[in-house]
Amino acid sequence: MIFFKKVKKYWFLPLIFAVWLLAIFIDARYNEKLREEYPVVKFEDKINARVLKIRKIKGGSYITKNNSEKIGLLSAQNYLYHREYLVFNIFSGDSISKNAFSDTIYIFSPSGEVKYFVHGEVINRHLR
């Protein structure tokens, strides 16, 4: 009889677990659709455009350029900046540039600030 009282007390745990699994599934599906809609920039691609809209999620930035073309940028970090992740340093209105056969992405803000990141890499991390 004691066993059934404990089971009744925690009846909501399977429900919480099911909702958690559903949230993970929905998030994975959303990320997959974004990657289909926004093709990831390749090494041989050249970019020189203004950012119209940006979607920021873990693992990347999804950008609509001034010609309505959509591109995806992988997560990148540059420890020269206070907020080292690319997603925290790129905004609507910025210009982005990447030469063909280069991994370096330059971000030009309207205020004149220039930042750079290496696509999909971590740079300037000083080990202590």
Neighbour count for residue 61 (Cβ, 10 Å): 24
Residue 85 DSSP one-character state = B
Model's pTM, two decimal places? Answer: 0.76
Asked if residues 47 and 97 have their Cβ atoms less than 8 Å apart, the reply is: yes
Dihedral Cα 73, 78, 83, 85, nearest 10 deg: 20
Model confidence pLDDT, tens digit, residues 16-41: 999 999 999 998 888 888 888 899 89
pLDDT in the model for residue 1: 52
Residue of 46, 52, 124, 71 whose CA lies nearest to 116 = 124
Determine phi and psi for 79, rounding to 5 degrees. Answer: -75, 5
Model confidence pLDDT, tens digit, residues 104-115: 999 999 999 999
Mean pLDDT, the chain, as a whole number?
Answer: 87
Q: List the chain domain ranges.
A: 2-36, 40-123
Neighbour count for residue 31 (Cβ, 10 Å): 15
